[in-house]
Amino acid sequence: MPSVTKANPTLANTSRSFLGKTLQGYTIDLAVNATDFSSTEMGAEGAVQAVMREIAQTATIVAHSALRSDGVNAGQVFDVIVEGEFGTDIYDGSNSETFAADLEDRIQALTSVGAGSVNLSSATVTAMTGFPYYANSPV
């Protein structure tokens, strides 16, 4: 019977993780106090899906969190994890900026989306700090 030799990557016993892909995390605050996103804007035609479609135009979403409160607004913040490495670049064709800043601009342009025609012009996008899942960089 033929035998199979497994070849796994050699990992040093160091304080870092190994994933094989670089992932980046962003926190999105929809910032619309008057809207109950958890009951009206989570469906296929909701504002949250419009935001996810906007993100998916330039990045592959690999995970996202549930909607949660930021302590002030009820159910308006979530995290999204995307595949890739997004540094500072000219994403919109006009000026150099971070991916979070470009994404924030694109989400803020969604001024009448979802079941309740939600205006997301005050939304914010923040890159997660200390996010430990980078394929080829030391932690």
Q: Is residue 111 domain-resident?
A: yes
39 and 116 Cβ atoms separated by less than 8 Å:
no
What domain count does the chain have?
A: 1
Classify residue 28: in a domain, yes or no: yes
Task: Please tell me which residue, 61 or 7, carries the higher pLDDT value.
Answer: 61
Q: What is the pLDDT of residue 78?
A: 92
8 pLDDT above the threshold of 80: no
- Residue 137, in any domain of the structure: no
Residues 106-131: pLDDT tens digits?
Answer: 999 999 998 888 999 999 999 988 76
pLDDT value at 16 more than 70: no
β-partners of residue 113 are 118
CA distances from 33 to 36, 85, 120, 133 (A): 8, 32, 11, 33
Is position 74 within any domain? yes
Q: Which of 58, 75, 64 is nearest to 27 (CA)?
A: 64
Any domain includes 13:
no
Q: pLDDT value at position 103? A: 95
Q: Is the pTM of this model over 0.85?
A: no
Q: What is the pLDDT of residue 92?
A: 80
Question: Residue 23 and residue 63: Cα distance in Å, rounded?
Answer: 10
Domain of 48, in residue numbers = 23-127
CATH code of the domain covering residue 34: 3.30.70
pLDDT in tens, 29-62: 998 877 777 778 888 888 999 999 999 999 999 9
| Domain presence at residue 1 | no
Does residue 52 belong to any structural domain of this protein?
Answer: yes
5 is a domain residue: no
